[in-house]
Structure 1
Amino acid sequence: MDTDDLSREAYDGILIQAERLTHDLTLHYGVLSGDCKNEAEYLKKAEKMTREIMKADDWEIDDLFWGNPPEKEKLESICRKILKNIEQVRSIPFEKRKFDF
């Protein structure tokens, strides 16, 4: 699937939130959508990736951001917000989510 297939709630809650920190983080969440069949799978994988980022060592974070890592506190704050947003999206029945297409 493509990020265009995500509901507005999922797109805003994950990709737009990631962009507030750095475009590099947004790219990782965007690429992740290509490995998913639907939004439910995307939310599951985005949650897993976010939790892995939060547990990553400094060198892994450095690699993830191609040698230009954000401040650790800001990254953790954004990750917590993304996890909260994922839960909020899941609480909305699929048929009530808004889609651009």
Structure 2
Amino acid sequence: MDTNDLSEQTYRAILIEAESFNHDLTTHFGYLSYECENEDDYIVKAEEMVHEFLGYDEAEIDDLFFGDPPEKEGFHKALHAILENIQEVKKIAPEDREFD
């Protein structure tokens, strides 16, 4: 699938939130969509990816951001915001989500 296949709610919850922190983070969530079958699969994998990123050490964060890492505290704050957003999206029935 592609990010264009995501509902408006999921797109804002994950990709727009990531972009408001750092474009490189958005890139990782964008590429994730190509590994997913549908939006529900994307949400599950995005949540897993956030938890994985939360466990990264400084060297892994450096690699994730292509040698220009953000401050770890800010990175974790952004990841927690994405997790909160995901929880809100999960409360919306798939048939009630808005698609272009």
Fold match by TM threshold 0.5: yes
Q: Which residue of 2 aligns with 1:28?
A: 28
Counterpart contact for 1:6–1:39, Cα < 8 Å:
yes
Give the drift of 1:73.
Answer: 1.2
Superposition pairs of residues 11-26 of structure 1, within 5 angstroms: 11-26=11-26
Instruction: For 2:48 and 2:3, locate their aligned partners in 1 and report how far apart those are by CA, in whole Å.
Output: 17
Counterpart contact for 1:14–1:82, Cα < 8 Å:
yes
Residues 36-81 of structure 1, C-alpha deviations (whole Å, 9 max, x = no match): 0000100010001001111111100000111001111111111001
Instruction: For 1:58 and 1:52, locate their aligned partners in 2 and report how far apart those are by CA, in whole Å.
Output: 13
Q: How many residues align?
A: 100
- Which has the larger displacement, 25-34 or 69-78? 69-78
Counterpart contact for 1:32–1:46, Cα < 8 Å:
yes
Q: Which residue of 2 aligns with 1:3?
A: 3
Instruction: For 1:8 and 1:74, locate their aligned partners in 2 and report how far apart those are by CA, in whole Å.
Output: 25
Q: TM-score, normalised by structure 2?
A: 0.98
Equivalent AA in structure 1 for residue 79 of structure 2: C
Instruction: For 1:27 and 1:17, locate their aligned partners in 2 and report how far apart those are by CA, in whole Å.
Output: 12
Sequence identity percentage: 52
CA RMSD of aligned residues (A): 0.5
Q: Which residue of 2 aligns with 1:54?
A: 54
Runs of 5+ unmatched residues, structure 1: none
Q: Which residue of 2 aligns with 1:79?
A: 79
Q: Which runs of 4+ in 1 moved over 4 A?
A: none
